[in-house]
């Protein structure tokens, strides 16, 4: 019988974290925090990332590391694609063709420690800094920002901070957790970590980033947005509960919501790209 290496790895990690937490929960939290902020790089998938080769590719400096970026020129509205944790720009393969056919001017980056960008560590606050550096490199901010999960978190958080000035016409939020704690809970569930480990993670989070879990609440952040948007969320999302998306919709002025079923947290399939392109087309028609 073939041994499932991932199950073995998760089982070992669970025993390590929970065992350490019995005697030193902050030490267990330190280890778990490391795994959360040092994402695994996923292997390239030749079946889905071929479209990346069609882009104009370049790098820009962020501190001592290079960030990899992509541009597919088009005559239509400009869009900016932001992937989530342990992902890369390759995740947009289903959205790319509908956007290309619509003539969009498409921009994307690989976040630090993801895809073809350099670096080992990652968090949403760093992601916002990279986004701002990218806009300065471009000399402008694209019209529509499309963010999946952690990418959507970064887009929303960026637009809530006075220190960051560029704003899009609209934000398209895909599978964004209402609370950062939703993501932490999923991580703990995935590795089988107990509440003592979770406490330790929060201690490290506060120590390194000066925030508690409760401080990162996207159902509240959206109240401060001065741009409208679209929320796309699956009813069966097991990472970001649909209740968070519904609260975001209630609190976000000028936002619409579309829910799917059976697409999961990744929002796979052809339906979501069609929803996104239709939404952008509608906004553009309204502004003519």
Q: Is 70 exceeded by the pLDDT of residue 5?
A: no
- Average pLDDT (233-240) is 94
Can you give the pLDDT at residue 4? 52
Query: What is the distance between the alpha carbons of residues 131 and 109, in angstroms, rounded to a whole number?
Result: 9
User: Residue ranges of the domains in the chain?
Assistant: 1-37+181-216, 46-179+218-287
- The band of 175, judged by pLDDT with boundaries at 50, 70 and 90, is very high
- The band of 3, judged by pLDDT with boundaries at 50, 70 and 90, is very low
The model's pTM: 0.91
Q: Is 80 exceeded by the pLDDT of residue 1?
A: no
CATH superfamily of 46-179+218-287: Alpha/Beta hydrolase fold, catalytic domain (3.40.50.1820)
Q: Are strands 255-260 and 144-148 parallel, antiparallel or unpaired?
A: unpaired
pLDDT tens sequence across 68-91: 999 999 999 999 999 999 999 999
Q: Who wins on pLDDT, 183 or 22?
A: 183
Can you give the pLDDT at residue 7? 46
Torsion angle in degrees (nearest 10) through CA of 168, 54, 84, 216: -20
Q: Is 60 exceeded by the pLDDT of residue 159?
A: yes
């Amino acid at each position: 019988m073939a041994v499932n290496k991932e199950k073995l790895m998760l089982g070992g990690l669970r025993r390590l974290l929970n065992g350490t937490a019995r005697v030193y929960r902050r030490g267990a939290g330190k280890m778990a925090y490391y795994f959360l902020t040092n994402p695994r790089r996923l292997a390239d998938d030749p079946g889905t990332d071929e479209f990346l080769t069609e882009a104009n590719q370049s790098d820009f400096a962020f501190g001592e590391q290079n960030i990899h970026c992509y541009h597919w020129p088009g005559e239509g509205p400009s869009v900016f694609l932001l992937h989530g944790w342990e992902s890369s720009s390759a995740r947009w393969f289903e959205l790319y063709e509908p956007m290309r056919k619509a003539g969009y001017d498409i921009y994307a980056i690989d976040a630090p420690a993801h895809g073809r960008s350099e670096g080992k560590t990652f968090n949403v606050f760093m992601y916002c800094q990279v986004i701002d550096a990218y806009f300065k490199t471009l000399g402008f901010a694209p019209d529509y920002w499309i963010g999946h999960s952690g990418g959507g978190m970064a887009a929303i958080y960026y637009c809530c901070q006075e220190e960051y000035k560029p704003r899009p016409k609209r934000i398209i939020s895909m599978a964004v957790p209402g609370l950062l704690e939703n993501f932490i809970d999923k991580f703990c569930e995935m590795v089988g970590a107990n509440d003592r480990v979770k406490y330790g993670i929060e201690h490290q989070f506060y120590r390194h980033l000066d925030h508690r879990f409760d401080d990162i609440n996207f159902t509240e952040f959206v109240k401060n947005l001065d741009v409208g948007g679209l929320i796309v969320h699956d009813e069966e999302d097991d990472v970001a509960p649909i209740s968070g998306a519904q609260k975001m919709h209630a609190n976000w002025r000028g936002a619409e919501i579309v829910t799917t079923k059976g697409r999961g947290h990744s929002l796979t399939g052809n339906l979501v790209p069609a929803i996104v392109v239709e939404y952008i087309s509608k906004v553009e028609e309204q502004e003519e």
